[in-house]
Structure 1
Amino acid sequence: MSVDMRWERAVAGGLTADVSHVFGIFDRTLCGIQVAGMSPSDYWWMPERENAFGACRDLAGVIDDRWPQASRGEDTRVSVARRL
């Protein structure tokens, strides 16, 4: 899947609405911001958007580059947070 369909946007009361962060896990964004009650949005995080946070974009790129090709299909995508 393309990079803009592999990441979910983080939502939490303490995050500003004008900056888009990637949801990581355990109430943290991919770049390390922690806010209690953070969750993944129902919307994709899109790295090409102007408001995508740069550190999240960089880290998502590193992870994407390391992700095995065999695990990139539509049928292999699972939200870790929703399984907890």
Structure 2
Amino acid sequence: MWQWPVPPTAWEEQLWSCLWCHAVTHVGGEWFEIARPPYLPMEMRWERAVADGLPADVSHAFGIFDKTLCGIEQDAMSLSDSWWLPERENACGACREAAAVIDERWPQAMRGEDARLSVARRPGAS
């Protein structure tokens, strides 16, 4: 697991990503919830990477560690406000291949809406 660099807040929330399947888990927050967002298909799972130095004519998927899914690393790389769409003609082929491999890693049994549940700490529990 890799912990996202999230600025400290009053709720002490942490974000963790699995390095193998890129599943994200949110820990903490106001109610100390463990939230595990469900599986999303490739066309709804990745945001477009934004960074100085990335070619404007090729769309790359943002991974983790300031890297695209195909491995391009740039300081201050971030997510855009738009999806990375693997079916588009300008989508990076290597990002598309990596996204397909990652997608295959999600077990079929864990792809339903209720497969990744959230758990909140009960009042009075420590």
TM-score where L is the length of structure 1: 0.79
The structural deviation recorded for 1:2 is 3.1
Question: Which of the numbers 85, 88, 102 marks the counterpart of 1:63?
Answer: 102
- Structure 1's consecutive aligned runs of 4 or more residues displaced over 2 angstroms after TM superposition are 68-73
Structure 2 residue 95 is matched with structure 1 residue 49: no
Q: Which has the larger radius of gyration?
A: 2
Q: Distance in 2 between matches of 1:72 and 1:43?
A: 24
Greater share of residues in helix: 1
Q: Percent identity?
A: 66
| Higher RCO (CA < 8 A, seq sep 6+) | 1
Pairwise mapping of residues 23-42 of structure 1 onto structure 2 (< 5 A)?
23-42=62-81
Greater share of residues in strand: 2
Gaps of 5+ in 1: 77-84
Gaps of 5+ in 2: 1-39, 117-126
What one-letter code is carried by the residue in structure 2 that aligns with 1:59?
A
Q: Distance in 2 between matches of 1:72 and 1:38?
A: 31
What one-letter code is carried by the residue in structure 2 that aligns with 1:58?
E
11 and 64 in structure 1: CA distance in 2 versus 1, 3 angstrom threshold = same
Structure 2 residue 47 is matched with structure 1 residue 14: no
Please give the per-residue CA displacement for 1:8-63, whole angstroms capped at 9, x wherever unaligned: 11000110111000101111111110111001111100000000000000000010
Q: CA RMSD in A?
A: 2.1
